[in-house]
Amino acid sequence: MTDKANLRSGYTTGACAAAAAKGALLALLTEQPQREVRIRLPRGEQVAFPLHTCEAGRASVIKDAGDDPDVTDKAEICACVCWSDKPGVTFVRGVGVGLVTKNGLPVPVGEPAINPAPRRLIQDTLMEVLEEFEPPKPGLVVEISVPRGEELARKTFNPRLGIVGGISILGTTGIVVPYSTSAWLASVVQGIDVAAAQGIRHLVLTVGARGERLARELLKLPEEVFVQIGPFFGDAIRHCGKAGIEKVTLVAMIGKLAKFAAGQESVHSTAAQQDFVFLARLAIAAGASHEIIAKIKSANTAQEVADLIGEHGPKPFFDLLCQEAWNFGRTLVPTAELEIILMANDGMVLAGSPKR
């Protein structure tokens, strides 16, 4: 098990881009390459970044994500800065930074995928530099690029979100907390928002890629309606209601769905434990024998319970489980139609509520 207390934090792509932009601007103003720059993060911390490359108007930083398994760890984040007659900072998309092509994201269509918080950080960082100099023109053009960004983006949700050609420049605090779920949850929320902005009113929520594949084979719906929500059952279902989704179909296997049915919004293994007493109560209500009930109470996993019920019954157990998940889900999204589908590992539907 990972000891999170001893893990090292790192820096976001947004913080690295701001540092690279500062290095590029300082080199442009002083005509001297910089070896290191310090920037002020949104919460006020002053942080030093070594520059990987630096010359007049150009610099780069190698991202250090700390001990977080971030796909952009060790990526080169580059900035090119030049003067502009237009006041303020204008952002330009460089190689490896995504282009926004769908509504529903915090950045308008046609803009580089540099989120609002990193934009503010880059702008504030550059304006702070210019307070010490007399710039020859009132504005700056900043191009952010990531040489391997298009390759890295294939490992993210960007293609599904309509961000093409590269990664997004992200980060609200500038700090990457190892194994933090905040960025993961943010991508789930964005997925729902993008779908809603395209006029989609029925979403199918699955835990991950395998669950989505099985759900697509079952439901025969367009790719755009599927959103992978990870363990964030409660947050995702609730946000569907806020986004105006009219029908939500949750497709899951028993390991995650049993936790949700027991009233747990997050079904991550670190946040929720399997409630075998709850499962035993459902078995009693379904008419299970004393022997089956005892085995459920002493089971190690929900899958063990599913295998036991699958072999010995009673099969109404699965219907009751879906009904309990539906009952809890309705408290989170009372304005939308809700459908629960319990699926076996092989893709077979075990039960559903409303009853399939």
**What is d(CA 40, CA 46) in angstroms, rounded to the nearest whole number?**
5
The domain limits of the chain are 4-176, 182-353
pLDDT for 5 equals 55
Q: Which CATH class is domain 4-176?
A: alpha beta
286: enclosing H helix or E strand: helix 276-286
Strands 226-228 and 99-100: unpaired
pLDDT for 2 equals 45
Name the pTM for this structure: 0.83
Q: Which amino acid belongs to residue 39?
A: I
pLDDT for 355 equals 63
Structure-token pair, residue 151: 């390759």
Q: CA 98 → CA 62, 215, 264, 303, 353, distances in Å?
A: 19, 29, 36, 40, 40
pLDDT for 182 equals 82
pLDDT for 181 equals 81
Strands 99-100 and 166-167: unpaired
Please tell me whether the peptide bond between 106 and the residue prior to it is cis, using omega within 30 degrees of 0. no
Backbone angles phi, psi at 58, to 5 degrees: -140, 140
pLDDT for 256 equals 96
pLDDT for 356 equals 52
**What is d(CA 284, CA 293) in angstroms, rounded to the nearest whole number?**
7
Q: Is 49 helix (H, G, I), strand (E, B) or coil?
A: strand
- With the CA atoms of 77, 62, 155 and 161 taken in that order, what torsion angle do they form, in degrees rounded to the nearest 10? -30
Within the chain, which residues score under 70 in pLDDT? 1-5, 355-356
